[in-house]
């Protein structure tokens, strides 16, 4: 893979063909401090300016992330809090709006800010023993990067209130039942399995994947009526794409099992 960020950065961004791989690498706990947030902003800007066909987010070390560095709360001036959290929420929204499939891979403990960013991804894969938590209650706080509302959209408002208000940790197997985690992989092969899962999406129909994200976004914003209103225009744009025409021709000449390695616009 080709590394794109400098040595020593808390995030590593690399390209593996069509797939971008973003790795949190700030041992030992991959905490979200100012340097980590700044790295996320830089990475998401690069990805927006140089869109790959898929993104895998993962972490090095024994934990995915132990969450926000508590020193951030200690040092924050009261009159700066609103603008600070608006800036961090903008990072979540930038990740959510990327026009290609995004996969968050959690091999172990994933807390607060990291979990909130995971909830902004299209898909979450995890080991069965991975644990997730929005544990801000321990510092008398509430999730401020959009995790509560995104969890409510996936699992329902009662589950969101439960997870946030209790501050408990939940295993990936539980969150899979809730519809939050999409796929469970064995720990021994997790990194390879997660990479293959994301690569399958990155080598799929790029324009169609982007359209699917648009339809879901319209549904989340306004329900079925809003998605229905937007769908004909979205489908028409896909119809006009080289991606779609190439896939149709491949289906007719090679059959339904043809490779869907599409990237036309």
Contacts of 168 (CB under 8 A, 6+ apart): 133
Q: What is the pLDDT of residue 117?
A: 98
- Give the position of tokens 């149709």: 248
> What pLDDT, on the 0 to 100 scale, is given for residue 260?
59
Question: Which pLDDT does position 265 carry in this prediction?
Answer: 47
pTM equals 0.94
pLDDT at 40: 97
Specify the pLDDT at position 256: 78
Q: What is the pLDDT of residue 239?
A: 95
Q: Are 46 and 13 in contact (CB under 8 A)?
A: yes
* pLDDT for position 240: 93
Alpha helices, DSSP H, located in 9-60:
34-49
pLDDT averaged per 10 residues, the chain (length 265): 72 97 97 97 96 98 97 93 97 98 98 98 98 97 98 98 98 98 98 98 96 97 97 96 88 76 54
- Helix, strand, coil percent content, the chain, rounded in steps of 5: 55, 15, 30
**DSSP-assigned letters across all residues of 93-145:** HHHHT-SS-EEEEESS-EEHHHHHHHHTSSEEEEETT-EEE--GGGGT----S
Alpha-carbon gap, residue 10 to 40, rounded angstroms: 9
Look at residues 65, 38, 18 and name the one whose alpha carbon lies nearest to residue 202: 18
Pair 36, 90: CB distance under 8 Å: no
């Amino acid at each position: 893979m080709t590394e794109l960020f400098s040595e020593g950065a808390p995030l590593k961004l690399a390209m593996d063909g069509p797939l971008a791989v973003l790795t949190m690498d700030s041992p030992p706990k991959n905490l979200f401090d100012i340097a980590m947030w700044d790295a996320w902003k830089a990475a998401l800007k690069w990805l927006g300016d140089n869109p790959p066909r898929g993104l895998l987010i993962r972490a090095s070390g024994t934990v995915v992330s132990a969450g926000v560095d508590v020193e951030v709360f200690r040092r924050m001036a009261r009159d700066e809090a609103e603008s600070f959290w608006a800036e961090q929420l903008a990072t979540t929204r930038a990740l959510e709006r990327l026009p290609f499939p995004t996969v968050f891979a959690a091999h172990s403990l994933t807390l607060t800010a990291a979990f909130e960013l995971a909830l902004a991804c299209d898909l979450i894969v995890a080991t069965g023993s991975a644990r997730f938590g929005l544990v801000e209650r321990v510092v008398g706080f509430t999730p401020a990067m959009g995790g509560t509302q995104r969890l409510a959209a996936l699992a329902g408002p009662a589950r969101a209130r439960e997870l946030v208000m209790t501050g408990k940790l939940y295993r990936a197997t539980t969150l899979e039942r809730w519809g939050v985690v999409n796929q469970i992989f064995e720990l021994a092969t997790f990194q390879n399995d997660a990479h293959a899962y994301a690569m399958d999406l990155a080598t799929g129909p790029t324009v169609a994947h982007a359209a699917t994200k648009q339809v879901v976004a319209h549904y989340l914003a306004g329900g079925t009526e809003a998605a229905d209103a937007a769908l004909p225009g979205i489908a028409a744009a896909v119809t006009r794409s080289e991606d779609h025409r190439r896939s149709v021709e491949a289906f007719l000449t090679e059959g339904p099992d043809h490779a869907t390695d599409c990237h036309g616009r």
